[in-house]
Amino acid sequence: MKKIEEETRGLEEVLCPIGLSLTNLKAELRAIWECNIKEWKIELAYPISFIRQSIQPLIVLLPILVYGIALIGGRFSETLMQLVGTGDVITYTFTGYMIMGFIGTAVWAMGFSIRKEQWYGTLESIYVTPTSRLSLILGMALHSVVHQSIGTAFEFAVIYAVFGLVLKIEGILPALVIFALMMLALGGFGIFISSLALIFKEGWIISEGFHSILMLLSPVAYPLTVLPNIAQQASTLFPTAPALVGMRSFLIENYTPEILGNIFLHLLVLDAAWILFGILIFYLTDSYVRKRGTLGKY
């Protein structure tokens, strides 16, 4: 006892804010910010990684555009026109992929964040800090959203310069509102995936698996109407389908939405559902994994 007293003499006691208070909120926001800064420092230590990820959205989009052009021998499709009121394959596909990049952000940045910390050997260390686990994940997600935004801006500039895009400028503001609503739901979805990665360990498979399923069920390069009925119904459970349809309605001239009803309301319901579900599953898996003592295993 005396030894402990000697060892701790001179150390300052730190009181961590807890519960629902403004001080705690500030502390958690600080943790999110610091996590974001940490991710940036790691990334900028590998410049190749930064450059690759910044041009990735463009490089992913190019083969899809060339494929579309090869199929119809130009950029206008009569069939697409009949389905959604616009035949411009380039603008239609670009708007889809521009938004889909952020799905990757949610599922990869958040789902893979836990696994990355395991690899670095820092997961247990950050877990014993008096910070909310969600703040750690949200910090990594923040870094990824900013990164994706840089990539999307570059993608937009190149596609606009090379192909030209026909977008309605006045639709940008409502489209951004829809985008924000989609990101909230995707945040919940990302938290859900990161909790799965806590149990199943191979986080990249969980992330890639859900990413692939979401890509299939979302009207990125094709309208929902070409999907089988069951897939169309399943797509309404995820925020990407209503968000893509809603954003295109505001951004593309003559676009005919393939989802009926109030997109904003639909997204608000999905936001609440996915955030609550994500947080609930995360706390359940978190306590399960810690009880079993398998947190650092892989």
Partner 1 sequence: MIKRPQEISSLKANFFVIWSEVVKNMKFLMAYPVIFVFWTIFPFFWFIPFIFQGEAIVGGLQSASFAEIAGTPEYIPFVIIGAILNGYVLTSLYGVGESIRREAYRGTLDYLLSSPCNKAFILIGKAVSESINSTVYAIIQLVVCIIFFGIELTLGVIIPIILILILMILGLYGIALMLAALSLRFKQAHDLGHTLENVFLIFAPVRYPLQSLPFWAQIIGKLLPLTYALIAVRSLMLLKQDFPAVYEQIFLLFVIDVIAIFFGFYLFNWMEKRTRKSGAISQY
Q: Classify residue 177 as exposed, middle or buried by CB count within 10 Å of its CB (0-12, 13-18, 19+).
A: middle
Q: Give the E-state strand segments of the chain in sequence order.
A: none
Give the whole-angstrom CA distance, residue 221 versus residue 94.
Answer: 8
Q: How many residues bind partner 1 (CB under 8 A)?
A: 44
CA–CA distances in Å: residue 243 to residues 18, 19, 52: 36, 34, 27
Select the residue interacting with partner 1 from 18, 44, 67, 172 (CB under 8 A).
67
Question: Whole-number minimum distance, CB 235 to partner 1, in Å?
Answer: 12
**63 is an interface residue for partner 1 by CB under 8 A:** yes
CA dihedral 211, 207, 200, 270 (to 10 degrees): -60
Q: How many CB atoms lie within 10 A of CB 4?
A: 8
Chain positions 78 to 107 lying near partner 1, rule: CB under 8 A, are: 78-80, 82-83, 89, 93
**x-or-dash pattern for partner 1, window 180-219, by CB under 8 A?**
--------------------x-x--x--xx--xx-xx---
**56 is an interface residue for partner 1 by CB under 8 A:** yes
Select the residue interacting with partner 1 from 24, 53, 54, 149 (CB under 8 A).
53
Select the residue interacting with partner 1 from 167, 227, 241, 267 (CB under 8 A).
227
Question: Whole-number minimum distance, CB 247 to partner 1, in Å?
Answer: 18
How many CA atoms does the CB half-sphere of 11 hold within 13 Å?
Answer: 9
Chain centre distance of CA 260: 25
Select the residue interacting with partner 1 from 16, 23, 29, 46 (CB under 8 A).
46
Select the residue interacting with partner 1 from 40, 54, 69, 127 (CB under 8 A).
69
Question: Whole-number minimum distance, CB 73 to partner 1, in Å?
Answer: 3
Quote the Cα angle for 221-227-230, to 5°. 140
Give the whole-angstrom CA distance, residue 244 versus residue 225.
Answer: 14
Q: Whose Cβ is closer to partner 1: residue 76's or residue 160's?
A: 76
Q: Are 274 and 185 in contact (CB under 8 A)?
A: yes
**226 is an interface residue for partner 1 by CB under 8 A:** yes
Positions that interact with partner 1 (CB under 8 A) = 46, 48-49, 52-53, 56, 59-60, 62-64, 66-74, 77-80, 82-83, 89, 93, 119, 200, 202, 205, 208-209, 212-213, 215-216, 220-223, 226-227
